[in-house]
Structures are given as C-alpha cells and as structure tokens.
Structure 1
Amino acid sequence: MVDHPLLVTLFILLLSGIALLGYTMPEEVRDWFTAKPEPVPQVDQQKADKPRKVRETPPDVDPISLTDADTILVIDSNQFFTADGLKALREIVAEIESLDYVESVFWLEDIPNLNIFGLREPILPNERASQKRLDDAKEKAIKHPLVGGQLLSVDAQTILLMVKFKWMYVTDDDACTTGLKEVAKKVVTEYPDVKFSFTTTGRVPIYLTAVRTHNANKVKYQVIGYGMILLMAIILFRGITAVIIVALAPMFGVFLTMGIIQFFDFQDNPFNDVVLPVLLSLVGLTDGVHLMVQIRRHRASGLSGRDAARRGIQEVGLACFLTSVTTAIGFGSLSLAHHETVREFGYSCVVGVLLTFIAVVTVIPLACRTGLGRSIHVGYGKGVIDKNLNRISVIIEMVLKRAGWISKVGIGLTAVLILISLTLRPDERRANMLPDGSEAATALNHMDQAMGGLEHSRVEVKWSDEVESDSPEVLVAISEVDQLLNQEALIGHPISIANILSALPGEGPPEERMSMIDLLPPPLKRAFYTPERNQATVSFHVQDLGIAKYGPTFTRIEEGLAKIGSQHPEFQFQLTGSAVWRWRNLYQIVVDLASSLGSAAIIILIVLAIAFRSLRLGLISIIPNMFPLAVTGTFLVFTGQALEIVSVCAFTVCLGIAVDDTIHFLTRFREEQLQVESDDEAIRKAFTGVGTALIMTTVILVAGFSTVIFSDMRDQRIFAIMSGLTIGSALFGDLIFLPALLARYAKRSQVPAMEEEELIPDEPMQESLVRE
C-alpha cells in the first residue's frame, strides 16, 4: 500500500470507475450479467382443454369506499347539525370540488340510500329544517352503519371529507394540505357564528410531513453533526491536514459502497439509504483515527512520510483487517433473516465494510505520501488527550491493582444488564416517524379518539363454489365475524354487508335477511360483497397505539376465525390489512435484527478466537462488546421504550464501533505481550499505544451524535441518544473491564510457546524497543 503508490492510485481509480457505473448506468451493467429468460414451456393441451367452472364477471359498478382518499380534511365542531353549520359544510364541499386539481370529495351526502323503496332519505336535511328535525337527523346519522364511526364521530363533533386529486393538475405539494384548509377557512369566514377547525391527515399529508421533516433534518443535522465532528477532530488532532486525510477514507468507502450496491438493485432499501452510510462512516472513521494516530506518532519521531505510513500499516493494519472481517461476518448474519429488506441490508453491510477497509488502508497511506501529509505531525503531543494521557493512565493502574473483583463485577453486571435488556419487546407506531406537535401527528391522535383510528384492516371471507353466493350461510358466517370483532375493545367500528342489512327495516335472524341483499344499491352492496368472486370483507379501524398492543388482539381474532372456519368448512377467513401486515412483517424485521446481534456476537467470538489462536481472548472480548449494548438496552427498559427498528439499527451501528475498539486494544496487547515480560506492562503499553485513538474516536462520535438529540423527530432523538450512550459505554468497558479481564484471565501462559520463542526479541533489542 505504501511502496507502490502508482498501483494503489490506479486501483483507487478502477474502484471509482466501477462505482460511477453504479451511479449512472446500473441497469445496463446488470443486463450484461443477467441470464436470458428461459423459453416458455408448452401448455399441456389436455389440461388446457379440461372444462372449468366459468365465473360471472362483476358488473361495471364503482363500489363506494370509506378509505380511498388521498387527503382527509378533518373538521371539528359542535355546530354541524345547525342551519348555518349545514350551509357552511355544503359550501365547503362545493368550493373544494370546484378546484381544478380535485377529482372528488366523498362525504356524508354521498352515502347511498338505504331505503328499500328507493325513496331519498338524505342524511343531512335541508338548511331550513327545524332544529328538532336536525337533532333527529344527527341521531339517525350516528346510528347509520356507513356514517357513525366512519365519516362522522359517534359524538357528532368530527366530520371527514375524503378528497381525491387529479394528479396531473397538482403543481404544489401544499395544495394537497394547506390549500384545502385555506379554501375551507375562507368559506367559514362568511358564517361568523360558525366555529369550525380544520386539520388534514391521510396518506398524502403523512407522507409529505415525514419526507419534508426527514430531508430538512437530514441536511440540518448532517451539517451540524459533521461540523461538530470536524471541530472536535481539529481540536483533538491540533491539525487540519490530519483531519482531512482521516475523513477522506470513510467518505471514499461510502462513495464506493453506495455506487456498487446499486448493481444489486438494493438502492431503494430504507436501511441502505439511511443506516448504511452512518455505519460505514463510523467504522471507517474509527479505523482511520487509529491508523492516523500511529502515523503521526512515527512522523513526529522523525520518520519520513513513507516510513511512518509503513510503520502505521504494520502496527494497526492487522487490527483494522480483523475489525472489518468480524464486522462483515457479524452483519452478514442478517442475510439469514426472513425479511428481504433485512437480508439486503446484511449483504450491503458485508460489501460496504470490506470496501471501507480497502479505502482506509489505501487512501490514508497514499495521502500521507503526498504534499498533504507533510504537516500531519504538526500539533502531535499538544492535543488535550495527548497531553493528559499519562493522567488517564492512573485509571489503568487502579484497574490492575483490583483486576480480580473488577473483572467479576464486569461479568456480573453485564449478565444482569443483558437479562434486563431481554425484557424489551418489539413495537412500532406510525406517529414515531412524524415530528412532535406536527399537524399530521396531532391529526393521527385525534382520529384515534374520534373515529377509532385512521388505519383500516379487514377480514376477508371466501367460500367455495359448493356454496351459493346467496346462501344464508354466507350472511351467518359474516355475522359471526362481526360479533368476534365487536368483542375486542381495540377494534373500532367493524362494518360489513351484515351491518348494512341489519340497518334495513324489519327483524329476523341473518339467514332470513339474506334475500334483502338484492334491494341494496349496487355501489353499496359491492363495497363489502362480491358474489361473482365468492368473496366478502369485514372492515374495521385500528388505532395508532403501537402495533405490539394489537398483538394479543390479532392473535385472539385469528383463533376466533379458526373456530368459525371449523363450523363452516367451505369458508376461508383471513385477517389482513396494513396494520396486520405491520404486526407480522415489521415485528419480524425487529426480531430478525435483534437475532442478528446475538449471531454477530457469537461469530465475532469465533473469529477472534481463531485470529488470536486463543479461545480465552475470544471469550474475554464478549464482555466489553456486549456491555455497552446491555447498558443501552437497560436504559430503554427503564425509560419505558420498546424495541423498534430505529433502536435495533442503533444497536447494529454501535456494535461495529465497540468491536473495533476492543480488537484494536486486544491486538496491541497481544503484540506487547510478546515483547515485554510482564502482563501488566503489556496492558499499560497497549493503553499507551491505542488509548489516544480510543478516547479520541469516542469524543468525536459522541459530540457528533449529541447534536441530533435536539431534533423534533422522535426516531432521530432515540438513535442519537442510544448511539452516544452505547459508544460512551464501550469506552468505559474498554478502559475498565477489558484491562481487568486481561490481567486476570489472559496470563502469559496462554501465549503459544513457539510463537513466544520466535517473536520475543533478545534483551538488547527489547530494551531498544522499550526506549523507542
């Protein structure tokens, strides 16, 4: 890496060219290596000619939908059922529908007629109606199965307007949110006695809020965070050129990785877009600081840039390689996850960590040989950490004197904290991705209170061809599903064809009311019932309380559906919908990520045991690696947090940093143990050799993460707090528990005899090395 700068430069340019192809033309490159599609097999004509039951085609009817809206305009007031309130509502709807980019507004007056005689019975009466008639209309609207709890809250103080857009005419994002509210507010100003308040929610406002805040915070806190890291690095290094060279390596590693992984079509993976660059930056920065500290030390001792770089690579190159291998193998365990997103993240981590290692051991030595590296040693020994390292060495002396009980405390405390951390349970909320106090987050909470939740899920009911679609058993099965859902307190306002039929005049059991289904308007009938496909649905609301709270509810519902299915063998019942998907899949993502952490710890133990040819050192490394994760996990438990995707990602990122520092200390200890007679002296020299880099990387990273604590995004705050706490705890483990464990359990007798005989220098050379 040092002796052949021209070859290294050509190698860097080659990798850069490959990465640029990934940024500019990944599809074309993938096509070069993609196999041609196999010929389509011939169809078995005998099977093709086998007669099948031909199903009817559903008629061309546009069924109503209570959930199909781009934006939901939420109106709150206690004056809806007043003369002026009705006038204002109708005028608001008319004005919004007149906007050129609005396709439709679905609200109370668009509900189809339930009168079996076809007579129009409007939900909202004429504005000239008496107050008694208005009050009666309010009671009827609340009891209407398609209105109460769906478009009108049960206390009649919240009304929803379901707005759909003509996207070809939408020229401004604000038109989808504030534009609608401005139109509505303008109308209300004409009715001074009417007090309406407006908020927007739905998929478009939530998406826009999340994206805007994410982009704004990403730029803001990246600038602040990187600025803080740069400032702290300059203060600690006492030299700008050293900081620039160290920063070049992780930047180049991220550049290579984000370009090359696009060949695998992983670029849309949210973990790769957000977590992977942070992970690679931290791993690269950690190794880069360790390498630069050694190069600056030798440069300050009088060696040339070339010789200082050679010595630095010789001393920490193996440690950097081990950190990359262990991190890559550990995160490679993610490729065994059930979820495709997590598997892709695992593959990308392996590629990225190895490329970042290549960037560190090529860019930094090469840059040190250039004019940029002439002054990297300026300020060496004058930094805050360099000048006070001897004072900090007092901690090592204290640990060595009490190595026995400190090591026992470290093992016991780590075990206890791990047990506490294991009580964490996975969870996820949609509001967590929104800024605190934002309109979208407030509207989500309001929808939980007023409508039983914004999100909808459903039970799909299907029956075999052996059952006629107008069979009374169909309605019986659907009614049993309704009853099952109504038993659950967290399930809001189930609605199905059975609810609608029960609202029609007359009485009788479900099997006797099935004949009335043909009296329903087709758009209403086919909203929840499709006889041509032998299918019906039961829809219900889900609150944004955290998907973990719905785990027992969904489990009981599935058990109940299984019992109903046993009573109706020709029927199939499936619980589905976005909330159910999140319960099954996002829950599994968190479990997969958490499992990967355990796998990574075991793999790291095995790799270190092989690398150091000592199972004991591998076991010793577990404590300083797992202690910071256990501390952070305990913090989450005591603060009432759950195990979310963001928290597991923080664990994943910080495990790489903790492992890096531990390996650097162990590698240096192993080298020193072969050169000095005393184990305690080997620990002291290991601290002298890597202590500056350990403390420096910790201070820099904690300072960078601390800036994000003030973000208005909860997920970003959690990530920053966990990262800072984990990295700080990792330093404590490496400076307190690791030396104690080495002094207590890594005695010189553990060094292989042949290796000791070959590598320990003679007395004069040893004295020279000690002096140097």
Structure 2
Amino acid sequence: MFKLLTKGFWDVVARLILRNKIAILISIFAITIFFSLQWKNMRFTYTEANLLPDDHPVNLVYQNFLDIFGEEGNLIVLGVKDSTLFTVEHMNAWNNLSNRFKAFSAVDAVISLNDLQKLVKDETNERFVLEPFIADSISSMDQLNKLQDELFNQYPFYDNFLFNKNTKTVRTAIYMNKAIVNTAARKDFVFDDLIPLIAQFEKDTNINVRVSGMPYVRTLNAQNIVDEIGIFIAGALAVTSLIFFLFFRSVRATLISMFVVCLGVMWTFGIIGLLNYEITVLTALIPPLIIVIGIPNCIFLINKYQHEVKLHGNKVRSLQRVITKVGNATLMTNVTTASGFATFILTESTLLKEFGIVASLSILAIFILCLFIIPIIYTFLPYPKERHLEHLNKRWIGGFVNWMERMVKERRITIYISAIILLIASMIGIYQIKISGSLIEDMSKEAEFFGDIRFFEEEFNGIMPLEILIDTKRKKGATKLATLKRMDELEQLILETPELSKPISIVGLAKYAKQAYTNGNPKYYQLPTSQENLFISSYIKNSASDVDLLKSFVDSTGQYARITTFMKDVGTDKMERIEEDLQSEINKTFPADKYHVTITGKALVFQKGTKYLVKNLAISLSLAILLISLFMAYMFRSFKMIIVSLIPNLLPLLITAGLMGYLGVPIKPSTILVFSIAFGISVDDTIHFLAKYRQELQANHWKIRKSVYAALRETGVSMFYTSIVLFFGFSVFTISSFGGTVALGALVSATLLFAMLSNLLLLPSLLLSLERNIANKEVLKEPSINIIPEEDDEEPDNNLTNHNTPTK
C-alpha cells in the first residue's frame, strides 16, 4: 500500500514540476533574491571558537575572571631583535612609532621603552613617585647606553616583559580597548592603522618588526578564512566541472550542473545570514561542500535522463522518469547525508550546532534545487546529440565493473583476508592517535604571523595567556604579605616551567617597591619582611599613583589578585601536565578555607574544549549510525540487512582512524568532523546497492548470485562516478593553508574511496556468503519505501510540456 502511495506521490511531484515550470523558476528566483538579501547579516567571527557549552564549569570560571578583570586577550606585541635598534635615530623612531598608537580610540594603553618609569623613593613626603627613564627623547649615545644599563641590569621588574636582557630583544605592548577587541573595529585598526604604520617604520629604518598577540593573530587568521572561502568555491567548481565534463562530454550538461550548485552556494550563504550565524573555520567549509555533494545529484539526474532518452527517445517520458525513478533515491541519499551532519546539532557545542544546522539545511536545499531545475531546464533544450550519449557506452567503465565482478566471484576469501588485515592494522593505529588542544596548530604555517608567534615563543615563552585567579575571600586580602608569599611560591613553579613565561602580578610590584625603598638597589628585588612591609605600605598609601600601580594586578576591592603568564604552543599532554603541576602547588600553598584559586585563560579553555569534543565524537558518530540504521530499517524492514550494511561502512572509518594514528594526525576540532561526514555520505552507496539488489531479487525470482552481480553492474558505474567526484571534490580542501582543513579534506577523500571499494567488493561478498540467512522473502520483506521503483511502460502525459520530442 505504501509502495503505491510512494509511487503516486512521485507521479504527482513530476506533474507539478513539469506543468508549473515558469512558476517554479520564478519562485526559485524570488527565494534566491531573498537569500541574497540575507548576506548582509553574515559576519565573520572575531573570537576564538568556544567549543564548550556556555554553562560548562570551565566556561563559568573563565567568565568569572572576565567579570572581575575584563578581557584578557587584548594585548598586541611588537618585537625587534636587531642591534641597529640601539642607535639614537632608530631608538627614537621606535619610541615615536609606539607613541603614535596612543592616538587611536581602539587602543587603551601603550607601554614601550619610552613609557617605562622608575619607582623612586621620596623620603621627604614618605611616598613613592614615578620618574621616566627617558624624559623626552634620546639625544646621545651616552644617554642610550645609560638607558640600556638601567633596563638590562638594574630593573628586573621589566625583564621578560618589554625586553629580554639576554638576547637584547625589545618589544612594545599595545593594549586594545576591551570594548571593541571582539568586534569588527579590531579588524579596521589592524589593517588600516597598525600594519601600515609598522610597514612605514620598516621602510624608514630597514628593521624587521615582529607582531603578535591574540587580537592580531585572530584578525589575520580570520582574514585567511575569508580569503580561502573564495579559493575553495572556485577550486570545487573547477574540479567538479572538469570531472563532470570528462564523464558526460557535454558543455551544456556541465553548465547546467554548475548553475545549480552555484545557486546552492548562494542559498547556503543566505541560510547563514538568515540565522545570524558567524562564519567560522567550520561554516566556511559548507559552501564548497555543497558543490561537492550537489554534483552527484546532478550526475544521477542527468545520467538517468540521457539513459531514458537513448532507450525510447521520448523526452517527456524521460523527464517524468527522472523525477519518479531517481527523485526518491536521491531524496533518501541526501537525507542520510544531511543526517550525518545533523547529528552535530545534538552536541552541546555552539560551534558544532551551527555547523550541523547550516550543513543539513543546505544539503536538503541543493536536493530541491537539483530536482526542480534540471528537469525544467531540459524541457526547454533540444534533444541530446549522439555525442552527448557516448559516455553511456564507455568500455573502460565496463572493464572496471568486470574487474569488481571477478573479484567478488573468484577472490572472495582474498577480500575477507584483506578486510581483516586492514581492521587489525587500523586498531593498532587507533591506539596511537593523540589529541591536540592547540590554539594555533591549524593556522597557516606559511603565514608571516605564524613565524612571529614562534619568534615570541623563543624570546618570551609564548603569547597565549594563562591566568590564575586568587580569591582571598576578604577585602584587601590580596595585598596582605601572607598572600604575596603564597603567590611567590606559585610563581617560582611557573618560572621553573619552560613552557611558561615570567609571571606578572602584584608580587613583582611588591618586590619592585622594596627595591625602590632601598634606593633602587637591584639585589633587594625581593618580597619585604614583615617589618619592612609596614614602612613600605605607608609609602604606597601616600603615593598618588597607588591606584595606577595596583589596578592591573588587583581588583578594586582588593579581594581578588591575578597571576598572568603566557604559554608556548604545547600539546594536550604537556598542557595537562602543566595544569596538574600548578593545581598541585595551589592545593599545597593556598588553604581551601582561606583561598579559592582557579586556573583559566584562552589557552586552557580551548584545550578543555577539544577534550570535550573528543568525548562527544563517539556520541555524535553513534547517533549518526543509529539514525541512518533507523532509515534503513524503515526502508528494508530487516535487522539482518542493517548489520550487513553497516560493516562495509564502519570499516573505512576504522581504516581512516588508523591512518590518523600512523601519520600523526591528531584528533582536533577539524578532524573530528571526518567520521560523521564520511559515514553520512558513504552509506548512500550502500542504500543504492541494496535497493537495486532487492529489486533484482524480485525480478530474478530470488536467485541470489544473479541478483548480486546484476546489482553490482547496475550500481557500480554510478558509485564510481559519484565517488570520483567526491574524492577529488574533497581533495580541494588540501590546498588550504590551514592544517586542520587539509587533514579534513585528505581524510574524507580517503575514507570515501575506501567506502566505495568496501561497498563494491565487501558488501556483495557478504551477501553471497550469507545468502541463506539474508536473501529470502522472510528477511527481505516488502520495503516500506521503494527506493528504486520497478520499470513500467506508462505513457507520458503530453500535457506536461509543450516541448515534446517525438519518439524514435
């Protein structure tokens, strides 16, 4: 009964499409205009991808820190390692460059050598005063030499902050306005102000300036993402159109397909804008994905049309059958592919949810566009020429199908042994997979800013902020000597950790205050004793600059203090070890009844987010398998068929995971997507094969071998065509400058290639080996949905179109 309803449904769809061509084209044009108007709502992300749910404890700790001290990732650093900087002319030019940034509203503060001030004891008024190292500008080498001696030898407070005394590397710190650091204004400042001024300085002095800091890196990285969207789309169009043309040898068919997938890309951008989503490194992949996934739809529809036209020569009947015969199968395969992406919606990660929503909606949209536009366009076009149909008789495709058939007939044991060996090798490789929680690993290694990141890691031990928040549970508790001593013990561990930079906190200020109290003697750069602290505290209270001295290190109530350090780009294992060491020292040094100490910062949040995604990977993939299994159970009504069909689709995933282990490709946000995407796409081949197999069983009176080989010959060509398109389509991502995107493209391409071979060799072999248990009328009952309807000889409805072609 359902079969008849399904057939009737697609007959109705065919009539609606072919009788309402103009109305449908106008509707598609109107929807495209509507989506185009939504493009203005698209915006590019200006923050790091937050992989954790908003209510996750790690996010709550980080948000609490931001509420107390504000945005911590607002520092841009300029660095120079060049002996020629220490000339009067160049040092003044360097200081002038730093001063010019102070005029911009996007900048809160600039700290350079020109801004450094000495903390000096004023015995008359019993207070500390600040005196500049450089009163105005440097006028002589003697003055410059004195400055070098003071900075590098007498004031350790500034060491490893604005200079490295060992390598004579100097840097300037630019603190961006916290209100705009995560907005589009950041991009304007970086590209319109920062970069041009630095370029002019380099031109005038011939000194290379290194630039880094999270606002700068994020801006340039985001721009790389934007630039690559166009490259990916162009690359996907070029590759898929070339392959399509090689298959069909028809400029007309190629242009039609390109037109359809371009509309799909426009709709995808419209969906992103309509939902007010940001374009991230993940959502940037969707437009080229739609091209790669949409082309197989075009192949199925156009191939069916040309096959029908060659068979009986009636264009109307051919177009009817394109919709009624291929529409249902294409719908099911697109639904399963969309389901693979849609499983990300069920994760708690906003980044993955948005990716899943946009991808699944876009896949369904491209299906609708293909189903409507291709048959309608062909109603207006003349009958295909003979050369357009030559690809239907390609001998080399026949040779490929014959090879597969021979393998299944004669080498079934070889196929099983190969599958088992690959499975064992893959399991070994899986245990070698590592997890990466690096913020910069996926960034372009060729980009200049990536080299600058490595420069600052070498000179100052990193740019990624790691924060330790100390809650003393009482007002003014952060300035107590007991608290300072505990903080100093923790800072000693940070100094001993090679992956962390010199910490910045009120402890350094207290040591600087003692040095100033002892008339600037650098050997007294240490915490004061209890007695000394009484005198020093009175000096600090009398200092007019007291608030300025403390505001960066302690909150306004004095209850909270922060220790800021910067870390190198380290692996997840090292990051966890560092966190464990710090937490162990915290537990030992800070009594829980008096202090509440938390570790946070962007680097830690991102690493925790990656770990969270890995845990959700199994859930997402399991959901994809369950959802697609339910589809197949509904379509075939056979539990045994579900098990048999899952084996050739899970094996390629295991092989890919094994390859990741052997090749050292870590699990990270980009590569996590591989498995659900590949499974959702590869299972389409299984559905096509099993649907055709069941149809052949009925036609051949349940003769299993004959049916398997018939299904293999029939579906092998279309599987090969679509797999080649998908393989080269996803390979486009390997041209990316982002390591994660390259890995995603290569891994999905490899997985789909394995999946094709698995579905064409392993699946038929399993059906033949398990014929007694699988291929019988009790197991293969009447399907709920007839994916591939039986052929019939219905007459075309000549009222559908006025562009009929007489039958041959």
Normalised by the length of structure 2, the TM-score is 0.78
- Per the alignment, residue 579 of structure 1 pairs with 603
Aligned to 1:606: 630
Aligned pairs, how many? 713
Contact 1:224 1:707 in 2 (8 A): yes
- Counterpart CA distance in 1 for 2:537 and 2:579 is 30
How big is each residue's C-alpha offset from its partner over 1:299-322, in whole Å with a ceiling of 9 and x where there is no partner? 211242332233344444343233
Q: Deviations over 1:689-720 (max 9, x none)?
A: 22222111222333344455444443443333
Retained in 2: the 8 A contact 1:92–1:184? no
- Is the Cα–Cα contact under 8 Å of residues 694 and 780 in structure 2 kept in the other structure? no
Distance verdict in 2 for CA 1:205–1:376, change over 3 Å: farther
Q: How far apart, CA to CA, are the structure 2 residues paired with 1:427 and 1:382?
A: 46
Q: Residues of 1 paired with 2:187 and 2:627: CA distance?
A: 55
Distance 1:752 1:9, change over 3 A: farther
Aligned to 1:656: 680
Structure 2 match to 1:686: 711
Q: Considering only aligned residues, what root-mean-square deviation do their CA atoms show, in Å?
A: 3.9
Deviations 1:630-671 (A, max 9, x none): 333222222222112222234443333312222222222222
Q: What are the Cα deviations for residues 100-156 of structure 1, in whole angstroms up to 9, with x where unaligned?
A: 965664213423433344466766797454898567435426x623x2222112524
CA contact (8 A) 1:2 1:306 kept: no
Task: Determine helix, strand or coil for the equivalent of 1:93.
Answer: helix
Tell me: higher relative CO, structure 1 or 2? Use CA pairs within 8 A at least 6 residues apart.
Answer: 2
Which residue of 2 is the match for residue 645 of structure 1?
669
Deviation of residue 340 (structure 1)? 1.6
Cα 1:470–1:728 change in 2 (3 A) is closer
CA distance in 2 between partners of 1:701 and 1:513 (Å): 73
CA distance in 2, matches of 1:483, 1:351: 53
Q: Given that residues 138 and 156 in structure 1 are in contact (C-alpha distance below 8 angstroms), is that contact kept between their aligned partners in structure 2?
A: no
Question: Post-superposition shift, 1:443?
Answer: 0.4
- Contact 2:671-2:744 within 8 A present in 1 as well: yes
| Aligned counterpart, 2:499 | 490
Q: Is the 8 A contact 1:19 1:256 kept in 2?
A: yes
Partner of 1:736: 761
Cα separation, 2, equivalents of 1:590 and 1:551: 15
Is 1:77 matched with 2:82?
yes
SS at match of 1:380: helix
Give the one of 325, 340, 344 matched to 1:334.
344
Which structure 2 residues correspond to residues 130-169 of structure 1 after superposition, within 5 A? 136-140=149-153, 144-145=156-157, 147-163=158-174
- CA–CA distance in structure 1, aligned partners of residues 497 and 647 of structure 2: 45
Distance 1:730 1:101 in 2: 59
Structure 2 residue aligned with 1:3: 15
Identity %: 18
Aligned equivalents of 1:656, 1:19: Cα separation in 2: 27
Asked whether 1:107 is paired with 2:109, we answer no
* Letter matched to residue 183 of structure 1: F
Q: Does 2:555 correspond to 1:537?
A: no
Deviation, structure 1 residue 26 = 9.8
1:526 aligns with 2:551: yes
Residue 236 of structure 1: how far off its partner (Å): 0.8
Give me the whole-angstrom Cα distance separating, in 1, the residues matched to 2:73 and 2:133.
Answer: 19
Give the Å deviation of 1:535.
Answer: 1.1
Distance in 2 of aligned mates of 1:314 and 1:258: 30
Counterpart of 2:310? 300
Residue of structure 2 aligned with 1:241, choices 252, 255, 259: 252
Q: Does the Cα contact within 8 Å between 2:731 and 2:749 map onto a contact in 1? A: yes
- Tell me the secondary structure at the aligned position of residue 170 of structure 2: strand
* Alpha-carbon offset, residue 230 of structure 1: 0.9
Tell me, what secondary structure is at the counterpart of 2:699? Answer: coil
Q: Quote the residue 1:441 is aligned against.
A: 450
Taking a change above 3 Å as real, the CA distance of residues 309 and 685 of structure 1, as seen in their structure-2 partners, is farther
Q: Tell me the SS of whatever aligns to 1:114.
A: strand
2:503 touches 2:564 (CA, 8 Å); kept in 1? yes
Task: Find out whether 1:420 has 2:429 as its counterpart.
Answer: yes
Question: Equivalents in 2 of 1:512, 1:733: separation in Å?
Answer: 79
Q: Counterpart in 1 of 2:95?
A: 93
In structure 2, the residue matched to 1:53 is none
Residue 159 (structure 1) shift: 0.9
Q: Distance in 2 between matches of 1:705 and 1:334?
A: 20
Q: Is the 8 A contact 2:237 2:291 kept in 1?
A: no
Q: Does 1:616 align with 2:634?
A: no
Q: 1:278 aligns with which of 270, 288, 292?
A: 288
Cα contact 1:646–1:715 (8 A) shared by 2: yes
**Which of 373, 398, 407 is the equivalent residue of 1:398?**
407
Deviations 1:262-317 (A, max 9, x none): 4443x215266313333333333223323332222122112423322333444443
Work out the CA distance in 1 between the residues paired with 2:366 and 2:732.
Answer: 25
2:393 equivalent to 1:348 = no
1:195-206 mapped onto 2 (5 Å cutoff): 196-203=207-214, 205-206=216-217
Q: Which moved more, 1:466-475 or 1:401-410?
A: 466-475
What is the match of residue 586 of structure 2?
561
Corresponding residue to 2:748 among 707, 723, 726: 723
State the match for 1:320 in structure 2.
Answer: 330
Work out the CA distance in 2 between the residues paired with 1:67 and 1:263.
30
Unaligned runs of 5+ in 2: 1-12, 42-68, 123-127, 178-184, 516-523, 785-789, 794-808
Assess if the C-alpha contact under 8 Å between 2:678 and 2:748 holds in 1.
Answer: yes
Name 1:702's counterpart in structure 2.
727
Which SS does the other structure have where 2:570 is aligned?
Answer: coil
Matching residue within 375, 389, 395 for 2:384: 375
- Check whether the contact 1:490–1:550 (CA below 8 A) recurs between aligned residues: no
1:658 aligned counterpart, secondary structure: helix
Pair 1:650–1:85, CA change in 2 (3 A): farther
Check conservation: 2:232, 2:733, Cα contact below 8 A.
yes
Shift of 1:540: 0.3
CA contact (8 A) 1:427 1:546 kept: yes
Deviation of 1:21 after TM superposition, in Å, equals 3.8
Deviates more, 1:450-459 or 1:649-658: 649-658
Cα deviation, residue 18, structure 1 = 5.1
Which residue does 2:182 correspond to in 1? none
Aligned partners of 2:475 and 2:559 also within 8 Å: no
Q: Secondary structure at the match of 1:537?
A: strand
Structure 1 residue runs of 5 or longer lacking an equivalent are 29-62, 190-195, 760-764
**1:474 is paired with a residue of what secondary structure?**
helix
Q: 1:767/1:594 Cα in 2 relative to 1: closer, same or farther (>3 Å)? A: closer
Closer, same or farther: CA 738–501 of 1 in aligned 2, 3 Å: same
Per-residue CA deviation, residues 140-184 of structure 1 (Å, 9 max, x unaligned), is 26x623x22221125242111224689799799264225314225
Change (3 A) 1:17 1:136: same
| Superposition TM-score, scaled by structure 1 size | 0.81
